[in-house]
Amino acid sequence: MKAAVITIGDEILIGQIVDTNSSYISKALDKIGIATYEMLSISDNKEHILKTFKDVQNNFDVVIITGGLGPTKDDITKKTFCDYFDDVLVQNDEVLQNVKDIIEGFYKKPITQLNIDQALVPSKAKVLFNKVGTAPGMLMEHESTVFISLPGVPYEMKYLVDNEIIPYLVEKFERPYIVHKTLMTYGRGESLIAEQIENWETNLPNFIKLAYLPSPGKVRLRLTARGENEDFLKEAIFNEVEKLKPIIGDIIVGYEEDETIEVVLGKLFAEKKVTLSTAESCTGGKISQLITAVAGASAYFYGGITAYSNQIKTDVLKVNSDLIDEFSVVSAAVAKEMALNCKSIFKTDYAIATTGNAGPTKGESDAELGTVFIAIATPNEVFVEEFNFGQPREKVVYRAVNTAFEMLYKEISKN
Amino acid sequence: MKAAVITIGDEILIGQIVDTNSSYISKALDKIGIATYEMLSISDNKEHILKTFKDVQNNFDVVIITGGLGPTKDDITKKTFCDYFDDVLVQNDEVLQNVKDIIEGFYKKPITQLNIDQALVPSKAKVLFNKVGTAPGMLMEHESTVFISLPGVPYEMKYLVDNEIIPYLVEKFERPYIVHKTLMTYGRGESLIAEQIENWETNLPNFIKLAYLPSPGKVRLRLTARGENEDFLKEAIFNEVEKLKPIIGDIIVGYEEDETIEVVLGKLFAEKKVTLSTAESCTGGKISQLITAVAGASAYFYGGITAYSNQIKTDVLKVNSDLIDEFSVVSAAVAKEMALNCKSIFKTDYAIATTGNAGPTKGESDAELGTVFIAIATPNEVFVEEFNFGQPREKVVYRAVNTAFEMLYKEISKN
C-alpha cells in the first residue's frame, strides 16, 4: 500500500503559506496502515498537473490531491482532473443544494454564478459531499490507482478526510499494521542520547525502526513497527521501551504519540488537583496560549497576565518598583517577584513568570539580547534560572516557553 | 531558472511534523527571481534518495535538500550524497573546530565520536560552514545542476540559506525579476470578490498573474509579475492596484507582502500614539501572543490578562459577579465589562475582550458551542458583537482572534 500526497498551488511554491494539509493527510493514512511514500507540491499549471498525474498513475495505490478547487479563475484542478480522465462536468443537484444552503442560508449572501459552478463535477467521479464548504471532493478509480481530489481549506479537507476518505480506504483495501511509539525527552542532546542507547539501538529487531527528532532543548525518539499482527507489534514496541527506561528514563517526560509537554503537564496538574497561573513578559502570552490550547485546561489553569511594560509589572503585578530600579526589569529578583505575586493574585498553587530581552533591539533593560529569567513559584518556595537563548526573537521565545515547561515539569513530577 | 526543494525525513511522511523549511527556502529563492517548480518530501531511504537525485539531475538548475545530516544512525543524507557523486568522505579541520567550539565551549559537554564524525564531508563538495550548529551544509555542482544539502533544524537551515546559499546563487546566476504584491482583505468571501473584480482580472496584462488565498474571514489577493525589467514590473503592479482601489478599497486592510493584520494594527497604533491591552477568556492569550510577536509591540501594547475561570474574571478583572449570575459568563454584558475594566486596569486607550465557549464541551456557561462575544473598548465607548464560529475548538479560537483584529482595525482606522 503506497500513497502519494500532492498539493496544488503557487502560494505554497513561493513560500507564502506553509502546507499543513499533507501532514494531516499522511498522519491519517499512517493510522490505518497506509504509508505515504512521497509528498509533492506543484503549481496551478495544467501541464504540470497532467504530467504529475501521469507520473503517479499505477506507481501508487492512492493519490490524494488538495487545492485548486475554489470558485475563482486560478482554481484549475477540477477542469484538469476532468481532462486527465477524459470526462465531462455535469451539475450535481445535491451539491448545488448544499452550496445554496451555505451561501444563502448560513452566510445570508446572494448566490453567484461562480458559486453555482461549484456544483459541477466530473460525470464518472464519486462525489465526496463537503458539508462544511462549497467545493465538493472527487474520487476516481483509474487503472490501479485511486485519485482523490480535495479542497485546500484545511478544515474542509479535514472534514472530508475524516468522514469520507478514511472510511472508504478502510473498506476498500487490506492493509498491514503500523505501530508508532514516541518518547519525549527533555534536556539532553541528540548525540549524547545516541551514544547512551547505541547498544540497545543495534539490537532492535529489524521490523522496528528508530528515528531521532531533535528540536531546541528536546529530542523525540520515535519507534515504528510494521507487520501483519498488531498485537505482536505492540508487544514488541512495549518490550523495547521497557529496556530503554533504565538507560534514559530520567529524561523521558512522555510516552504518548505526539504528547506535548503541555498535555503531560495538564494531566499532572489535573491528577494532583493543583492549579497554575502565568505572568509573562518576553513570552508575550505564548505560555498561556499553549496551556489553554489543551481541551479541559480550565480545570487547572486559572489565567495569566501578559505584563509587557514596566508600568504593568508594577501596577497590575504589584512588582516593587525599587526592585526594578535596583536590579533592572530583566533580573532574577523581578522574575521571582512576578511569579510570587501572580500566584497570590490568581490564588493558584503554582505560577510561572518570564522576563527577558527577546530582541531584536534592547527594550526597557540593558540585558544582553537573548537573556531570559524564568521563575517558578510552588506551594512552598520560588526559584529562578537565568538563560541566554541567543537570537533571533522567535527562537528566544520558543526556547523560553519550552524551558519554562521543562522546569515546571521537573518540579511537579518531584512530589 | 528552475529550482526544486527536497526534504528528507520519515517524520514528515508520517505526518509527525509539518515541513516549514521548504516554505522558507522557496520564499528566499523567489525574492532573488528563482522560481521553485516543485517541492518534494521523501523518506530516509537510500534508494529513494538516489532515485530522486537522478530524477532532478539536469531537469533543475538548483536543487536544495534539507534533513538527514544529524549525527545519528537514521541520518543517511551525507553518505548517500557522497555515493551519488562517487565521492569519499574526508575530515574537514575547520568544521571539526566548529563542532568542538559548540559542544565543549557552548554546551560544556564532552565531545563524542558521533560529534567528531560530523566534520566528515565529501572531498569534492564546497563546505557551507554552519556557525549555529554542528552539521555543515554541502554544495556540489554536477553537470547542469547545483545540489545543495542543508541540515533540517530550522534555524540552522535559515542561517545557511541567508548567509551562504543566497549570496552564492546571486553571484552565480543571471536571474529574471519576480515582483509580488499581496493585498489583505477582510470580511468578504472569495466568490463575491471574484465577481466584483472580474472585469479588472480579465484585463490584467499577461505577465501578471492573480491568485486568491482564502482563509476563514479573510482573503489575500496576490499579484505576481515576471520579467527582465524590475522597475517596469513594479510600475505595472502599482497601476493595477490603483485600478482595484475604487472597486474593493473598502475591504483592503494592507498592501505589504505578507503583512498580517497584527502588523498593520501595530503600525496604526504606533502612528496614532495610542495603546492597547487585552482581556482574553476563550482565546486563552492568543491575541496577546500574536500582538507581541511583532517586534516593537512594547510601544503600544501594555499587556493582557488571560481570565480563564469565572473567579479570575471577578477577582482580577473585577467583573461584577451579579452580571455573571444574571447574564452568564458568556454574554455581551460580561464581554463589555471585561473590556472596560481591562482598559482601566492597564490604563490604555483601547482594550479587546473575548468570552466564549470554544468546546469541545460546555464549561461554566450554557452557551452553545462556538458562541463568542468580542468587545472593544475605545477612548469614548465600548461595543460588543456576538458570533457563532461552530466547531472544532481550534477553528473557534482562530476565527475569534481574527475577528477581534478585524473589529479593532475597523474601529481604529475610522479616526
The reply to whether B302 and B188 lie within a common domain is no
| Residue A415 reports pLDDT greater than 70 | no
Provide φ and ψ at B408, rounded to 5°: -65, -40
pLDDT in tens, chain B (415 residues): 899 999 998 889 988 889 999 999 999 998 888 999 999 999 989 999 999 999 999 999 999 999 988 888 778 999 999 999 999 999 999 999 999 988 887 677 788 888 899 999 999 999 999 988 889 999 999 999 999 999 998 889 999 999 999 999 999 998 888 888 989 888 788 888 998 999 999 999 999 988 888 776 678 898 999 888 889 999 999 999 999 999 998 888 877 766 778 888 999 999 999 999 999 999 999 999 999 888 889 889 999 999 988 888 998 999 999 999 999 999 999 999 999 999 999 999 999 999 999 888 777 777 888 899 999 999 999 999 999 887 778 878 888 998 899 899 889 887 6
pLDDT in tens, A55-86: 999 999 999 999 988 888 778 999 999 999 99
- CA dihedral for B379, B382, B388, B391, sign (positive or negative): positive
The reply to whether A108 and A200 lie within a common domain is no
The reply to whether B312 and B167 lie within a common domain is no
CA distances from A403 to A285, A302, A354, A386, B295 (A): 15, 21, 10, 11, 22
The reply to whether A8 and A147 lie within a common domain is yes
Q: What is the DSSP letter of A297?
A: G
Quote the cell numbers at residue B46.
537510500
Quote the cell numbers at residue B400.
475569534
Q: What is the DSSP letter of A250?
A: G
The reply to whether B112 and B247 lie within a common domain is no
Provide φ and ψ at B70, rounded to 5°: -70, 180
Containing structural domain, residue B213: 177-254
Q: Is ipTM beyond 0.90?
A: no
Chain B residues with CB-CB distance to A15 below 8 A: 22-30, 36
The reply to whether B35 and B159 lie within a common domain is yes
The reply to whether A120 and A250 lie within a common domain is no
Average pLDDT of chain A is 90
SS3 letters for A93-112?
Answer: HHHHHHHHHHHHHHCCCCCC
Residues in chain A: 415
Quote the cell numbers at residue B365.
456557561
Distance of residue B143 Cα from the nearest chain A Cα, in angstroms: 24
- Rounded average pLDDT over A365-381: 91
| Residue A260 reports pLDDT greater than 90 | no
Q: Which of A124, A148, A172 is the last residue of a domain?
A: A172
Most A CBs within 10 Å: which of B193, B277, B288, as the mutation test of the A interface?
A: B288
Q: How confident is the model at residue A184 (pLDDT cuts 50, 70, 90)?
A: confident
CATH number for the domain including B118? 3.40.980.10
The residue behind cell 466568490 is B191
Q: How confident is the model at residue A216 (pLDDT cuts 50, 70, 90)?
A: low
The reply to whether B286 and B250 lie within a common domain is no
Query: Taking phi first (over 0 means left), then psi (-120 to 50 degrees means alpha), and beta for anything else, what does residue B108 get?
Result: left
State how far the Cα of A283 lies from the Cα of A336, in Å rounded to an integer.
Answer: 16
The reported pLDDT for the residue numbered A360 is: 80
H-run or E-run covering A235: helix A230-248
Q: Which of B254, B280, B300 is the last residue of a domain?
A: B254
Q: How many CB atoms lie within 10 A of CB B334?
A: 27
Tell which residue, A96, A161, A164, has the closest CA to residue A134: A96
Evaluate whether A309 touches A319 at the Cβ level (below 8 Å).
no
pLDDT in tens, B9-62: 888 998 888 999 999 999 999 888 899 999 999 998 999 999 999 999 999 999
Chain B residues with CB-CB distance to A22 below 8 A: 15, 19, 41
**Do the chains contact at A16 and B258, CB–CB below 8 Å?**
yes
The reply to whether A8 and A151 lie within a common domain is yes
CATH number for the domain including B314? 3.90.950.20
The reported pLDDT for the residue numbered B5 is: 98
Nearest by CB to residue A285, choosing from B15, B73, B304, is B304
Evaluate whether B147 touches B191 at the Cβ level (below 8 Å).
no
pLDDT in tens, B166-195: 999 999 998 888 888 989 888 788 888 998
Q: Which of A172, A190, A224 is the last residue of a domain?
A: A172
Query: Taking phi first (over 0 means left), then psi (-120 to 50 degrees means alpha), and beta for anything else, what does residue A68 get?
Result: left
- Look at chain B and report how many structural domains it folds into: 3
The reply to whether A312 and A167 lie within a common domain is no
The fraction of chain A above a pLDDT of 90, given in percent, is 62
pLDDT in tens, A217-231: 678 898 999 888 989
The reported pLDDT for the residue numbered A298 is: 86
The reply to whether B383 and B364 lie within a common domain is yes
Most B CBs within 10 Å: which of A289, A364, A399, as the mutation test of the B interface?
A: A289
Classify burial at A259, counting beta carbons within 10 Å of its beta carbon; exposed 0-12, middle 13-18, buried 19 or more: middle
SS3 letters for A349-402?
Answer: CEEEEEEECCCCCCCCCCCCCCEEEEEEECCCCEEEEEEECCCCHHHHHHHHHH
CATH number for the domain including B231? 3.30.70.2860
The reply to whether B153 and B42 lie within a common domain is yes
